[in-house]
Amino acid sequence: MLIYAGIDEAGYGPLLGPLCVACSTFVMRDGDPAAADPPDLWSILRYAVCRAGGDGNGRIAVDDSKKIKGPNDGKQHPLRRLERGVLCFAHAGKCPESDQSLLEALGIEVPQRGWYRSTTPLPVSHTIDELKIASSRLSRHLERGGVEFGGLMCEAIDAAEFNQQFHRMKSKAAVNFGAALRLVERVRRRYSNNHPHIVIDRQGGRTHYREPLQIAWPEARIAILFESEALARYRLDFGGGETLMLTFLPEAENAHLPVALASMTAKYVRELMMLRLNRFFTAHLPELKPTAGYYGDGRRYIREVEQLLPRLRIDRDTFVRMC
């Protein structure tokens, strides 16, 4: 049996909204935990899932979230394909009633900030019946392929917490990496006797990871299996037969379906939280154009809401990321 997981982030660069880091996990009954490369889940599940652009026959698109999210001015809702993928995997036809239910299921504790207090009914771009049909098809092909979906997890690090962690770690990359390692630990604890293999998108420009991994798990013996510009792979031995394999590579979402699904989950969570943020401020400034929070438009948005911050008793450091 192989435990095959992937980790990726969304929202690394914006000024506003959370940095979201997510993990998806699959249990493959006939998978070999000692194999260097996990099986291709796109191929195994090819009658139920596909890459971006191949979903015309009802399959679920699973790919890098940048390829899945639609344009804001497109004919369809921009979250349509993103939402379909995440909710079909996350809830197997039982769609959560609101974003709050989904966030809680993912292990996210929403920050107690005024701009996150509203909720959004789900789904935002589908009918429940549409999702039931797609998720039923997915369930059948997971079973036929000898695959069990192990679930989704996510961390959402909002501006205030992000700024605190940045002050402590002195690096935005370290904030992101810390969240990824916490998700690794959650997978490790859940599957401690099953030798998980977790694939993680490369962390910035880093190509060597042994030292930070040893700091995170000082009790582990860490073997470097491979290190190059293109790939880094490590085996962590915790004693008593418990091992963990970690693979880091650039654009991992293009090669590993669990990483792509993690990318989509992180993006969907961030989009739902930005809906809350925009709803809060447009209630006070109806003419305010919503933002995705990224640098250029984020600066515009901050200028336009600046007048509200003192009246609403909002500390700028809890609302705007410092980097």
Q: What is the pLDDT of residues 160-202, one digit of tens each?
A: 999 999 999 888 999 999 999 999 999 999 998 889 999 999 8
Residues 14, 20, 23, CA angle at the centre, nearest 5°? 150
Question: In the structure, what pLDDT confidence band is assigned to residue 211 with cuts at 50, 70 and 90?
Answer: very high
Q: What is the pLDDT of residues 19-44, one digit of tens each?
A: 999 999 999 998 878 887 899 999 99
For residue 81, the one-letter residue type is: R
Fold of 2-276: Nucleotidyltransferase; domain 5 (3.30.420)
| Count of beta carbons in the 10 Å neighbourhood of residue 233 | 20
Average pLDDT over residues 279-294: 96
- Percentage of residues in the chain having pLDDT higher than 70: 99
Q: Which residues contact 3 (CB under 8 A, 6 or more apart)?
A: 25, 26, 27, 28, 33, 150, 187, 191, 194, 195, 196, 197
What span, in angstroms and rounded, lies between the C-alpha atoms of 311 and 209? 46
What span, in angstroms and rounded, lies between the C-alpha atoms of 76 and 203? 33
Give Rg (Cα) of the chain: 20
pLDDT of residue 185: 97
Question: In the structure, what pLDDT confidence band is assigned to residue 217 with cuts at 50, 70 and 90?
Answer: very high
Q: Does residue 267 surpass a pLDDT of 90?
A: yes
Q: Kindly list the domain boundaries of the chain, sorted by start residue.
A: 2-276
Q: What's the pTM? A: 0.96
What span, in angstroms and rounded, lies between the C-alpha atoms of 105 and 96? 9
